[in-house]
Amino acid sequence: MVKSLVAFLLPAAVWAQEFPNVTVETVVKDAHYAEGPVWSADGFLLFSDTVTDQIKKWTPGKGEADYASRAGGAAGNAYDSDGRLYTCEFRDRRVTRTAKNGKIEVLASRFEGKRLNAPSDIVVRRDGNVYFTDPAFGNQQDARELDFYGVYRIKTNGELEAIARWKTRPNGITVSPNGRLLYVADSDARLIRMYDLAGNGSASNERIFVDKIAGVPAGLRTDEKGNVFAAAKNLLIYSPKGELLREIQLAQTPSNLAFGGQDFSSLYVTARTAVYRVRADGMKGAPQYAPQVP
């Protein structure tokens, strides 16, 4: 009995020390299906409203506004260190980059002569290596040309490389704050996989970071300590060793997340029709683009 009681109490003791005093605030409540949040260095949040093919802008103190239209359907978004916006366009089955002057460039639409499935989420390392996932959900399955679900890297020279060819569907993707680890959510297997990233951006040594996740793991993000934040049934926070540090329940099921605010101490979480701002003592993220590996 004593051993069982200790085992039951330990997680609570760990949680009590990690990210205490959590507050959750709704900052957007009228989206159709919110996804792909990313914080701009210019002081605002972008997120995709996937049903309406819109990218929305939310600014503290000002609220929500239209930002851009993507007929190809916007999902995951990311900025690079030069302030260019990368977007997964799942309906047009491509990845684009938007320059500060508004010019849109297609970075990836085909692999080995076949159209991509439906790019979902994306992250950019500071050195310019781009990583994205390519699952297919719902009626996207009917239009597939590839016989696998891919995890891809766009090299700094523009070449598209398949890091992994899964039979299950990858979803959220992020890098560690030092740029040496890549994390990918496996929505079908209910787990998160990880890879080592070399200085040139290549990935190797696939392994499981955490498994048996409650709900469908989707968006991922890391903080400055290397903790991994995951959108699943609830908002989950894991240590760099894969230990569950905290579980935060939201009013709606989260889809994706991004750190933001003046000092990156707020976590913005998209969840169906809402966007939440989550704050906690000790919470501080790294920018979405990670530092370059030395």
pLDDT digits (tens, 9 = 90+) for 25-58: 999 999 999 999 999 999 999 999 999 999 999 9
Per-residue confidence (pLDDT) for residue 285, from 0 to 100: 87
pLDDT tens across 72-90, in order?
899 999 999 899 999 999 9
Q: Which residues of 48-87 are buried (b: 16+ CB within 10 A; e: fewer)?
A: bbbebbbbbbbeeeeebeebbebebbbbbbbbbbeeebbb
CATH of the structural domain 2-279, one choice from 3.20.20.150, 2.120.10.30, 2.40.110.10, 3.20.20.10: 2.120.10.30
Query: Cα–Cα distance between 263 and 259 in angstroms, integer?
Result: 9
Give the global pTM: 0.92
pLDDT, mean of residues 150-156: 97
Pair of tokens at residue 1: 């009995």
